[in-house]
Amino acid sequence: MKLSQLLAICTLCLLPIAASAQASPEVSKVLALEKKWTDAYKLRNIKIMTSMLAEDFVITVEDGSVFGKMGYMSHTADTATQVDLAEESDLRVVVHGNVAVVIGAYHEMGTSKGKRYEYRDRLTDVWMKNDGEWQLFASQYSVPLAQ
């Protein structure tokens, strides 16, 4: 096999990898919003969090509790909980028109009512573009059984 043929085959094999490494502008926007959301949660910045949520937002948290927008803001504002670490990883985003679905891993540590806690969750967030702006429409966090 000639060197030029070998280089051509290698190039063709690497194209899908290079293409997948480049996120679309919409995927990049959603990933930036995920980080902003997580940072605002950690800092308990209710104003930023509220601005990112759709009016009919719904979230299911680790213990199975379900909250709407205002209920979750009240839950998050609870001063008995101090979040020391909140980070997402292994995020994958799929965009279909004006809807983006994010799945990934979530790690949180802190103190609640004087006791240390740690979660290692899986998450699903659903973002919807309304009037050109992405808003968080639904979230679900669950603790894998193998913990």
Query: Using an 8 Å Cβ cutoff, are 103 and 32 in contact?
Result: no
Mean pLDDT of 1-25: 50
Give the domain CATH number at 100. 3.10.450.50
Domain assignment present for residue 3? The answer is no
Domain assignment present for residue 5? The answer is no
pLDDT value, residue 147: 53
pLDDT value, residue 115: 95
The Cα-based distances of 102 to 30, 83, 132, 139, 141 in angstroms read 8, 22, 19, 9, 12
Instruction: Please state whether 3 falls in left (phi above 0), alpha (psi between -120 and 50) or beta.
Output: alpha
Domain assignment present for residue 65? The answer is yes
Residue, of 19 and 43, whose pLDDT is higher:
43
* 3 state SS for the chain: CCHHHHHHHHHHHHHHHHHHHCCCHHHHHHHHHHHHHHHHHHCCCHHHHHHHEEEEEEEECCCCCEEEHHHHHHHHCCCCEEEEEEEEEEEEEEEECCEEEEEEEEEEEEEECCEEEEEEEEEEEEEEEECCEEEEEEEEEECCCCC
Domain assignment present for residue 11? The answer is no
- 13 — pLDDT class (breaks 50, 70, 90): very low
Per-residue pLDDT at 12 exceeds 90:
no
Residue closest to 128 by CA, chosen among 103, 96, 106, 98: 98
- Read off the pLDDT of residues 78-131 as tens digits, 9 standing for 90 and up: 778 899 999 999 999 999 999 999 999 999 999 999 999 998 999 999 999 999
Residues 6 or more apart whose Cβ sits within 8 Å of residue 31: 23, 91, 93, 102
Domain assignment present for residue 137? The answer is yes
Domain assignment present for residue 13? The answer is no
Per-residue pLDDT at 6 exceeds 70:
no
- Quote the mean pLDDT of the chain: 86
Per-residue pLDDT at 1 exceeds 80:
no
Domain assignment present for residue 86? The answer is yes
Least confident of 9-13, 31-35, 61-65, 90-94: 9-13
Number of domains within the chain? 1
Q: Which domain holds residue 91?
A: 24-142
Domain assignment present for residue 12? The answer is no
